[in-house]
Amino acid sequence: MTKEKSSLHLFRASCFALITTAMTFAIRAKIEEVFTTEYHLTNEEIGFAFGPAFWGFTLAMVIGGTLVDYFGMKKILNVATIGHILGIVITIFARDFWTLFVGTLFIGIGNGMVEAACNPLVAALFPDNKTKMLNRFHVWFPGGIVIGSVLGYLLIDLLNLHWTILVAMLFIPLGIYTTMIFGKTFPNTERVTLKVSNKNMIKSCISPLFIFMILCMFLTAATELGTGQRISSLLGTSGVPPLLILAFINGIMVAGRYFAGEIVHRINISLMLLLSAIFSFLGLILLSYTSGIAVFISAAVFAIGVCYFWPTMLSFIAEKIPESGALGLSLMGGAGMLSVSLILPIMGSYMDANTTGLETLRLMAILPAILIIAFGILNLLQKRKA
């Protein structure tokens, strides 16, 4: 296999690993209503039970990001496989808070290890085209959510099958990426190739710009994933099946991320983040006031906003602070997932206090409002540097 074909093969394997990760988000969004109606968990309990998907993800990313330079990306992906298998099996047998909690934890660990290995893998495979290929890779996060959302709607809403069959569908992409990486040789991480010392890596990860981006990542991830994860309770009264809205949002994100390379060439990376914050704010406000078919217009505005948040935040670090290496990318992703683990029970508690999902959306709009100010300042500073 030529180097180019090997790179594309590993890239595709990474995409299937990310599809597995993303499908878990859509499936949790669907089984939320099952565990509230059939197993009588409160909204706050659901928030805490789903929390390990994010803080477990964070721990796995930070640990995996620290070890990936030493053990290699393939071994980290092998750990992801084990986490996914355990998490899927335990979730299938979950009937109460603690089994759901433990199953979600293992899935979170698997998901975190996927990101810890695959983000630096894509950067190493395509060193001269990081932003475009990281966005192409992250096409499959919304892509996987679309797949999971449509499956949830077909299997449960239309065919009235048991929810455990939906969870078992995760074995398909899991089996594909596991088979694809078997026996394959992985490249070194970019930091190892560039021979950046641990001291310089750590120094880069505590620089003012890096810390600023970490804080912003807390808000961008909570805006995107917090809203998507609780879509059933937030938009349950909209008059449209929430999973179809989730699929619609992520369908737009697939197209947007696929063409991100061309967009980045026309709009600088910090301006893209500012525009994303503006559209996210407008989208959340519109979603909180619309119903019926009009929800799709509001959802489209929100989708345009959150489309580039995650991959562009990672691309900013990869391009502007490359010395931070795989650890830097993992810390960013970990911070994003940690923020979601914190926002979910807060959202649940807010809804349990006799408030509606629409009011919760207006509360969430505060996050991108803060980002508009933060990214506005960043854009001005980056223009001065240019």
Percent of the chain having pLDDT more than 90?
40
3 within a domain of the structure (yes/no): no
In a domain, 2, yes or no: no
**Torsion sign, CA atoms 15, 18, 22, 24:** positive
User: What pLDDT is attached to residue 369?
Assistant: 97
The residue behind tokens 């990101």 is: 115
Q: Does 53 reside within a domain?
A: yes
How does pLDDT run across 285-320, given as a tens digit for each residue? 999 999 889 999 999 999 999 998 988 898 888 888
Token pair in block for residue 321? 């602070």
- DSSP annotation string for 19-68: HHHHHHHHHHHHHHHHHHHTS---HHHHHHHHTHHHHHHHHHHHHHHHHH
What's the confidence (pLDDT) of residue 141?
87
Specify if 1 maps to a domain. Answer: no
Q: Is the pLDDT of residue 223 over 70?
A: yes
Q: Which residue shows structure tokens 């009011």? A: 359
**Cα dihedral 45/46/48/50 (nearest 10):** 160
pLDDT tens-digit readout, 181-209? 998 888 887 677 767 777 888 888 999 99
Instruction: Judge whether 348 lies within some domain.
Output: yes
pLDDT at position 351: 83
Total domain count, the chain: 1
Q: Is the pLDDT of residue 226 over 70?
A: yes
Sole residue written with tokens 């996927």? 114
276 and 308 Cβ atoms separated by less than 8 Å: yes
Q: Which domain range does residue 227 map to? A: 8-385
The DSSP 8-state label assigned to residue 241 in this structure reads -
Residue 354, pLDDT above cutoff 70? no
At residue 264, does pLDDT exceed 70?
no
pLDDT at residue 289, as a whole number: 92
- CATH number of the domain where residue 287 is located: 1.20.1250.20
Residue 183 belongs to some domain of the structure? yes
